[in-house]
Amino acid sequence: MSQENDNQLNNMTVMNTYGRDTAGLNNRAQNDATVMNTYGQRNATGEGTALNREADRVPAYFGGISLKAGDIVPGEFEIIRRISSAGGSGEADIYLAKAGNPAILYNALSMQEDGNPASLNSDGRTKQFVVKIYNRRMDEKAALSEKLKKTNSPRIARVYYSGELFDRYFEVYEYYEKGSLADSVRERTFTFEELEQVIIPELNEALHDLHECGILHRDIKPNNIMWSNDIANSLVLIDFGLSSVARESKSIVVSTIGFTASYAAPEVLRNVYFDESDYYSFGILLYEMFTGKTPFGEDNSYTSIIAKPGNMPDRLYRLILGLTYQDLSFRNDPSNPNRRWTYEDVKKWLSGEEMPVPGYGARDRVEDENARDIPAFSFCGKEYTDIDSLCLAVGYHWEEGKSRILFDEERGLSAHLRDGMFATKRQRYFASVIDDVKNNTKYSADVKLAKILYTLSPDLNVILCPMGVFEDIPSFAESAFTALSGQALHIIRGAVDCVETVLQSGALTQIGEKKNASKEVLSLISEFEKRASGKDWFRYRERNTYELIYRLSGHKELNPGLPDGTIFKDLDSLKDYLASNTGEGYSETYRIVSFLLDSEHRLKPAVYGWLKSRGYELKGFE
């Protein structure tokens, strides 16, 4: 190739289908670089040397292969010049080339559909080609290339040749002089009419043709969509470096081959790919074509839907919402409107048919508001798939529940619901409830957990607390009274914490109303809930706990823990006991009084609560 021709190529400017000057691939910016794990090697060769796997090799070095003008690669393609280099982290080395022996290319590919030899463009000019040498070996590429070679779709870049060069896979396809959608959108954004009449139908048919061949592209973005050399207003998909041959389930599970973050569907983060994954990228691309930027930037956000730009027509916005719908739970149910849109849906949209946007139809509202299912969550040796069963189980395993729901950031329930591959809006709502309560510094861990459980499962009709699960208020009060009547300090403190939990979480009121508790009981609970939310609660919470449990349980006796086991049924029996046992000297009187008063000579919480529950005014003993 002469220097003169090379200079002509460098200076070439062409007109695209909308009358804009668009630089070819030689001037194409390398934005939106594909995210890759690359371990490529680079091989150098001399000028004018024919390259093949049996050729003499020179030492490799990291970064890319170095070819020069005049080198011949397998398939008889002659290098014109480098377009871009893989460097240390890129996907591939890319070269501009021409058919070194047009006769060989003609004989191999015969005539094109328009009657022109495969080595010529429709206007008779000699075709130029792109030689793409990937930065590492890719085992699937042979099967993929064979499928691409057999496709006759004008919207899919034809692979003219593929093979291995220095243990690196390479392929040859046509060079598109009119540039890419990335070139176009850098100059100006597209109007709705341009999208509706050209971009959307062309790309929809291109994806359909590709998927019909059993191929998932996996890297749909403006850089990989070219303007056709031969057909006006026609698009061509290129760059199948990340593409995969679809399995029978039409999904591909890979390790970490890569993706372009700002266009990747949520499921791609779990290394799962569907036909729908390409359509998600389609929706992001349309947003960019209209606005000039992607909706989320490089750090894609899957916690919210795409916001509507002020100047975007509602019709286009509905299409983008349909294409970027996140929940794939109903992907195999065409009758369910809550699934991501694909080929047939886009065709209906193009025909003007009104369709409910997934996630916004009446059916979705009914399903979403009542949905209780969750991705299987392992808890205490069992898997739970609905939120209500899980909340009830936490009541029986309270401490483990606190650990998994409040403190476990990696395996916790919030992360499990929010980051699930097919997380629904309802499940993300559950996760937001957990996060909001967790971040509230006002409450103890027990109160936080109770609030979470009763918010996630508002139909719970039992009392859940650190002491266990109780069917109703009387059974809870009886258990609390037993704990408070004992002498083990840690049990008493646990009971006090439990009462605080059910008051500050609102559990007692919720269960009382469901169990048809009397107005008197509900009024009593309301009074103590107000106390529990007051500024003096912590100072007096033990007194208040005893008083409430005495009143709820109906117990009248006081067991202050005297050595002789005496239990007082009323104030008179207490007076009689003191009168008969405090005349035996100071030490005995002090010993008995120490069971009734604390070190500051105030009534102990149990005594105070007992007397208050009996209706005594205790001014001076506060």
Spatial separation of the C-alpha atoms in residues 300 and 401, rounded to whole Å? 31
- Taking the alpha carbons at both ends of the chain, their separation in whole angstroms is 102
Residue ranges of domains in the chain? 31-174, 181-363, 371-460, 557-622
Q: Do the beta carbons of residue 152 and residue 189 sit within 8 Å? A: no
**Phi and psi for 528 in degrees, rounded to 5?**
-80, -25
Residues 492-512: tens digit of each pLDDT:
999 999 999 999 999 999 999
Residue 61: per-residue pLDDT: 32
Residue 308: per-residue pLDDT: 84
DSSP codes, 445-461:
HHHHHHHHHHHH-TT--
Q: Do the beta carbons of residue 34 and residue 219 sit within 8 Å? A: yes
Q: What is the mean pLDDT of residues 240-263?
A: 59
DSSP codes, 521-537:
HHHHHHHHHHHHTSTTH
Distance, CA of 588 to chain centre: 69
Residue 297: per-residue pLDDT: 61
Q: What angle do CA 438, 442, 443 make, to 5 degrees?
A: 65
Say whether pLDDT at 322 is over 90.
yes
Residues 6+ apart with CB under 8 A from 383: 376, 377
pTM check: above 0.85: no
DSSP codes, 289-346:
HHHSS-SS-SS---SSPPPPPTTS-HHHHHHHHHHT----TTTT-TT-SSS---HHHH
Six-digit token string for 144: 């993929």
Q: Which CATH superfamily includes the segment(s) 31-174?
A: Phosphorylase Kinase; domain 1 (3.30.200.20)
Q: Do the beta carbons of residue 266 and residue 326 sit within 8 Å? A: yes
Q: What is the mean pLDDT of residues 438-449?
A: 91
What percent of the chain has a predicted confidence (pLDDT) above 90? 38
Which comes out higher in pLDDT, residue 498 or 14?
498
Q: Do the beta carbons of residue 320 and residue 298 sit within 8 Å? A: no
Least confident segment among 129-143, 264-278, 352-366, 454-468:
352-366
Say whether pLDDT at 43 is over 60.
no
Q: What is the mean pLDDT of residues 396-425?
A: 84
Per-residue buried b or exposed e for 128-164, using 16+ beta carbons within 10 Å of the residue's own CB: bbbbbbbbbebeebeebbebbeebebbbbbbbbbbbb
Spatial separation of the C-alpha atoms in residues 569 and 555, rounded to whole Å? 9
Residues 604-613: tens digit of each pLDDT:
888 888 988 8
- Quick one: angle between helices 489-504 and 537-553, nearest 10? 90
Residue 10: exposed, middle, or buried by beta-carbon count in 10 A (0-12, 13-18, 19+)? exposed
181-363: CATH topology is: Transferase(Phosphotransferase); domain 1 (1.10.510)
Residue (of 176, 236, 226, 244) closest to 205 by Cα position: 236
Residue 395: per-residue pLDDT: 94
Say whether pLDDT at 600 is over 60.
yes
* Residue 205's pLDDT band (cuts 50, 70, 90): very high
- The strand ranges marked E within 366-487 are 373-379, 382-386, 463-465, 468-470
Residue (of 180, 90, 191) closest to 133 by Cα position: 90
Average pLDDT across the chain, whole number = 78
Six-digit token string for 506: 């609102």
Which comes out higher in pLDDT, residue 26 or 257?
257
Q: What is the mean pLDDT of residues 1-7?
A: 39
Q: What angle do CA 117, 122, 125 make, to 5 degrees?
A: 80
Q: What is the mean pLDDT of residues 467-493?
A: 91
Residue (of 183, 197, 131, 193) closest to 161 by Cα position: 131
- Quick one: angle between helices 445-456 and 489-504, nearest 10? 40
Six-digit token string for 239: 């760059």
